[in-house]
């Protein structure tokens, strides 16, 4: 039997290969078999048309179930060395099995685009400056015509004989760029290519920790060689980032790497700045806003150990690391860690699995931990650390509820909030107003006949955006010019109902014409580096009032913000999703946490039409921990996660009948299996029945035992093949939303 190559095909863009798994090929004709190593890429002919595809070589074996006459030869070997370790592929294989997705779709989510497309993979050389061999042992103080800056640079390089990158040197001496060239011309220093990262240089000394922070650092650093899952439950402003930094400092001193996950791209900038102040170099950032070549180089630097701190969003969790030291998941409760389309995985959960396999600690940090993580902490599966006080001299903000039913119907800013804004402006303090809705107004309505402007592709109202004078759908992107008359009754007086960030911005400019107002939402931060510019304006004091969406709610540190106004706080109080109250509580606490984070005290004004709502009362009169305890008790009584396990089978079709028919057949086939430990709920139409032109329905599976749910899914899912042509289905393990 000839040598058989087992490969995984990379899907092309928008291609779905859930029907496929591993494929077998013969070696390329005339190739040197010594070049074949698991982990390299191959170009192979695929399908009846022999279309060229890029694939990963997974294994070399001696047998195959494919008839010999059907075996094709691979076309070309693309790599000289494996792209990843066998351990990393075992993680990919585990994810494929746990989430019940084909291995093809998993690898498509794991690797950077250039790798999937077959591009040549080359590492950029690391250039470091070293003192020339002839000057290493000379007393540099007596070199002729040496300036103070030249002397200081040479002293620094003497401390690091392996050399330092230009970036590291400039971090110490910002005006040294031209001086490096002068030193090279004099023959005193020389640039060399090296693959060793710089030793960590501490630019700013570590901050003084309080006793609660120190306890976390001490206990984690004592367990750097074992799996040690920790929930760092610290209120906003309690100094969680400083805890991360001091633990990572120890990890770096031991020559290991740290992977830090943040939920959104806009938070990577602030995290990067904090880390560069402490460690300077050997830090890379991974997220979708980085251009593809730069992202590939960052990925390679992490894989090869040249980058020792990796900061990234959800997909960065798959980055191969040469010498794992610790994983940190900041804002671990955030929904952004769950991929909501294609391969639906949880980055937080993948990080836990990686830490367990690598036998290293993992820290899940949050001011509002998810109920799942709190449950594991209460059960003793996670070490539960609490940081109950704000770091330094900062104190907890005070809360004030405003009953909007007692305000004018046309008023978006209550009299109390307006008065507080005026006071802060007088004191030269900054204000943050939060409304979780972008655009100008979410509804355009005709009072004459009741017509409402709706999306033609989704069951959703169109939102008016004043900046572009258009009505937009926030779900599918459909847009249309603003109607000048009702298309139903031709009435010419149409009304904009409700408010978004644009309308609040206008209102603020009307009431406070001298104030500098800045709107922050996905519309105003669309351009690359726009968020960086905005944050610079805020920290330089060039902004008086910030108005924005949940982009402002997480992680940002605005020392001069003393007032937070939460507008339309009721938007998440009434929702059919059982997790809605948890998400609403987390959002309110996170937003409120932006106030009074430095020496100045903070105040939070919450505008609501339901001031007696139990959720608001418990959050304001007690704290998040009290809310979480009651919420967990309710989950246990109703048998919802974390006390049970869920899987959601979603179907979409060009008409609702086909989607429901598919799910009814799926349920019937499930009932023919052993469903003793499985409950099936539905099928039902999705809360948003139509989205992007597709009608949606879903079937919920529930079990008290995870392993029995997965065993059932393994037997059941193969029976779902043969889906009607206009019907698509997907499976969501551990769904974070039922909408």
Annotated domain spans of the chain: 4-116, 126-194, 211-387, 398-440+499-634, 645-733
Q: Which helix (H) or strand (E) holds 107?
A: helix 103-110
Pick the CATH number of 398-440+499-634 from 3.30.360.10, 3.40.50.300, 3.30.1360.120, 1.10.420.10: 3.40.50.300
Tell me the average pLDDT across 359-380. Answer: 96
pLDDT > 90? residue 45: yes
Helical axes 624-638 vs 580-592, angle rounded to 10°: 170
Say which residue, 292 or 730, is predicted with more confidence: 730
Q: In what order do the strands lie in the sheet with 164-165?
A: 164-165, 126-131, 189-194
Tell me the average pLDDT across 617-637. Answer: 88
What is residue 541's predicted lDDT score, i.e. its pLDDT? 82
The winner for highest mean pLDDT among 170-174, 266-270, 324-328, 517-521 is 324-328
CB atoms within 10 A of CB 308: 26
The fold of 4-116 is: GIY-YIG endonuclease (3.40.1440)
pLDDT > 60? residue 610: yes
Say which residue, 731 or 132, is predicted with more confidence: 731
Joined tokens for residue 93: 């294989």
Quick: pLDDT tens for 184-196: 888 888 888 766 5
The gap between the terminal CA atoms of the chain, to the nearest Å, is 52
Q: For residues 46 and 54, give the distance between their C-alpha atoms in angstroms, rounded to a whole number.
A: 9
- pLDDT-based confidence at 17, cuts 50/70/90? very low
Cα separations (Å) of 683 from 651, 667, 698, 739? 10, 8, 5, 14
Quick: pLDDT tens for 370-397: 999 999 999 999 999 999 887 766 667 7
Q: Report the top-level CATH class of 645-733.
A: alpha beta
pLDDT > 60? residue 16: no
Tell me the average pLDDT across 477-494. Answer: 90
Q: For residues 251 and 324, give the distance between their C-alpha atoms in angstroms, rounded to a whole number.
A: 9
- pLDDT-based confidence at 277, cuts 50/70/90? confident
Q: Which helix (H) or strand (E) holds 510?
A: helix 501-511
Please state the CATH superfamily assignment of the domain spanning residues 211-387 in this structure: P-loop containing nucleotide triphosphate hydrolases (3.40.50.300)
Q: For residues 436 and 547, give the distance between their C-alpha atoms in angstroms, rounded to a whole number.
A: 10
Q: For residues 434 and 436, give the distance between their C-alpha atoms in angstroms, rounded to a whole number.
A: 6
Q: Which helix (H) or strand (E) holds 592?
A: helix 580-592
Q: What is the mean pLDDT of the chain?
A: 87
Question: For a pLDDT cut of 90, what percent of the chain falls above it?
Answer: 46
What is residue 599's predicted lDDT score, i.e. its pLDDT? 67
Quick: pLDDT tens for 115-137: 999 988 877 667 888 888 777 77
Q: Which helix (H) or strand (E) holds 681?
A: strand 679-691
Quick: pLDDT tens for 179-223: 888 888 888 888 887 665 666 666 566 788 999 999 999 999 999
Q: Look at phi and psi of residue 23 and say left if phi exceeds 0, alpha if psi is from -120 to 50, else beta.
A: beta
* Beta pairing partners, 26: 73
Tell me the average pLDDT across 633-647. Answer: 94
Tell me the average pLDDT across 335-355. Answer: 94
Which has the closest alpha carbon to 588: 414, 435, 425?
435
Tell me the average pLDDT across 100-125. Answer: 86
Q: For residues 470 and 536, give the distance between their C-alpha atoms in angstroms, rounded to a whole number.
A: 30
Q: Which residues contact 117 (CB under 8 A, 6 or more apart)?
A: 54
Handedness of CA 160, 203, 248, 112 (dihedral sign): negative
- pLDDT-based confidence at 153, cuts 50/70/90? confident
Tell me the average pLDDT across 617-639. Answer: 89
Same fold for the pair 211-387 and 398-440+499-634 = yes
Quick: pLDDT tens for 308-339: 899 999 999 999 999 999 999 999 999 999 99
pTM of the model: 0.88
């Amino acid at each position: 039997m000839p040598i058989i190559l087992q490969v995984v095909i990379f899907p092309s863009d928008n291609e779905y290969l859930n029907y496929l798994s591993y494929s077998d090929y013969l070696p390329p004709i005339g190739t040197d078999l010594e070049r074949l190593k698991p982990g390299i890429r191959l170009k192979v002919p695929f399908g009846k048309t022999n279309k060229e595809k890029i694939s990963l070589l997974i294994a070399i074996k001696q047998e195959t179930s494919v008839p010999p006459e059907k075996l094709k030869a691979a076309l070309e070997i693309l790599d000289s060395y494996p792209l990843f370790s066998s351990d990393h592929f075992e993680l990919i294989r585990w994810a494929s099995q746990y989430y019940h997705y084909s291995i093809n779709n998993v690898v498509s989510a794991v690797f950077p685009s250039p790798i999937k497309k077959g591009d040549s993979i080359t590492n950029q050389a690391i250039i470091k400056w070293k003192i020339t061999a002839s000057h290493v042992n000379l007393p540099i103080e007596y070199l002729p015509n040496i300036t103070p800056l030249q002397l200081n640079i040479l002293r620094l390089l003497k401390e690091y004989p392996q050399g330092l990158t230009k970036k590291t040197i400039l971090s110490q001496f910002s005006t040294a760029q031209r001086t490096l060239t002068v030193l090279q011309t004099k023959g005193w220093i020389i640039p060399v290519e090296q693959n060793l990262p710089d030793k960590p240089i501490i630019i700013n000394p570590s901050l003084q920790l309080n006793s609660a922070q120190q306890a976390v650092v001490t206990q984690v650093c004592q367990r750097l060689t074992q799996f040690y899952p920790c929930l760092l439950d610290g209120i906003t402003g309690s100094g969680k980032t400083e805890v991360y930094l001091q633990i990572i400092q120890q990890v770096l001193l031991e020559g290991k790497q740290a992977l830090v996950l943040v939920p959104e791209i806009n938070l990577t900038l602030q995290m990067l700045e904090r880390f560069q102040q402490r460690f300077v170099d050997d830090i890379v950032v991974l997220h979708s806003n980085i251009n593809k070549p730069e992202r590939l180089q960052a990925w390679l630097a992490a894989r090869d150990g040249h980058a020792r701190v990796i900061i990234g969003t959800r997909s960065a969790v798959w980055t191969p690391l040469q010498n794992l030291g610790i994983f940190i998941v900041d804002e671990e409760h955030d929904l952004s860690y769950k991929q909501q389309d294609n391969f639906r995985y949880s980055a937080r959960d993948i990080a836990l699995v990686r830490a367990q396999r690598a036998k290293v600690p993992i820290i899940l940090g949050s001011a509002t931990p998810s109920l799942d993580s709190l449950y594991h902490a209460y059960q003793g599966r996670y070490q539960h650390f609490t940081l109950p006080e704000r770091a330094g001299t900062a104190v907890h903000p005070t809360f004030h509820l405003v009953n909007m039913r007692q305000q004018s119907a046309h008023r978006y800013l209550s009299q109390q909030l307006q008065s507080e804004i005026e006071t802060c402006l007088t004191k030269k303090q900054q204000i943050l107003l939060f409304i979780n809705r972008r655009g100008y107004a979410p509804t355009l309505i005709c009072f004459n006949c009741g017509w409402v402007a709706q999306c033609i592709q989704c069951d959703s109202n169109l939102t008016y955006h004043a900046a572009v004078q258009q009505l937009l759908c926030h779900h599918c992107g459909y847009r249309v010019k603003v109607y000048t008359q009702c298309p139903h009754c031709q009435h010419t007086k149409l009304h904009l109902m409700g408010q978004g960030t644009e309308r609040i911005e206008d209102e603020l400019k009307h009431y406070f014409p001298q104030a500098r107002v800045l709107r922050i939402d996905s519309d105003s931060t669309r351009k690359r580096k726009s968020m960086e510019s905005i944050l610079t304006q805020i920290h330089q004091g060039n902004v008086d009032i910030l108005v924005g969406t949940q982009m402002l709610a997480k992680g940002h540190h605005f020392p001069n913000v003393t007032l937070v106004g939460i507008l339309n706080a009721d938007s998440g109080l009434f929702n059919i999703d059982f997790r809605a109250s948890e998400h609403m509580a987390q959002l309110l606490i996170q937003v409120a946490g932006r106030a009074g984070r430095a020496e100045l005290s903070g105040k939070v004004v919450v505008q609501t039409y339901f001031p007696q709502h139990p959720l608001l009362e418990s959050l304001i009169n007690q704290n998040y921990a009290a809310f979480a305890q009651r919420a967990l008790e309710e989950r246990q009584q109703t048998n919802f996660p974390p006390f049970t396990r869920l899987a959601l089978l979603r179907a979409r079709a060009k008409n609702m009948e086909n989607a429901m028919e598919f799910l009814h057949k799926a349920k019937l086939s499930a009932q023919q299996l052993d469903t003793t430990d499985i409950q099936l709920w539905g099928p039902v139409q999705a809360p948003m029945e139509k989205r992007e032109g597709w009608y949606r329905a879903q079937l919920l599976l529930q079990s008290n035992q995870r392993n029995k749910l997965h065993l059932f899914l393994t037997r059941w899912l193969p029976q779902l093949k043969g889906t009607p042509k206009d019907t698509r289905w997907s499976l969501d393990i551990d769904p974070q939303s039922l909408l």
